Amino acid sequence: MGGEVGGAVREMGGEMGREVREMGGEVREMGGEVGGEVREMGGEMGREVREMGGEVREMGGEVREMGGE
């Protein structure tokens, strides 16, 4: 009996270990997706900031022109 119980426990342990490993893989995948989304968002924000910076510089040029007049 002891041998049978030990075998059953080992099997359960193996299955649990597999499930945990699989879950770990899914979590890593999700982490990758989240990381990708964050990088994309960062890129979009960076683009918007750069675009705004360009508009501000253009406005600065117009102000200088007006000052010259």
Tokens of 51: 């675009």
The amino acid that residue 5 corresponds to is V
Q: With CA atoms as reference, report the closest residue to 11 among 65, 63, 3.
A: 3
Question: In whole angstroms, what separates CA 32 from the centre of its chain?
Answer: 6
pLDDT tens, residue order, the chain (69 aa): 577 777 777 777 777 778 877 777 777 777 777 777 777 777 777 777 778 777 877 777 777 777 776
Helix (H) or strand (E) holding 43: helix 2-68
For the whole model, what pTM was predicted? 0.27
| Residue 1 DSSP label | -
- Provide CB contacts within 8 A for 2, sequence distance 6+: none
Looking at residue 16, what is its pLDDT?
Answer: 75
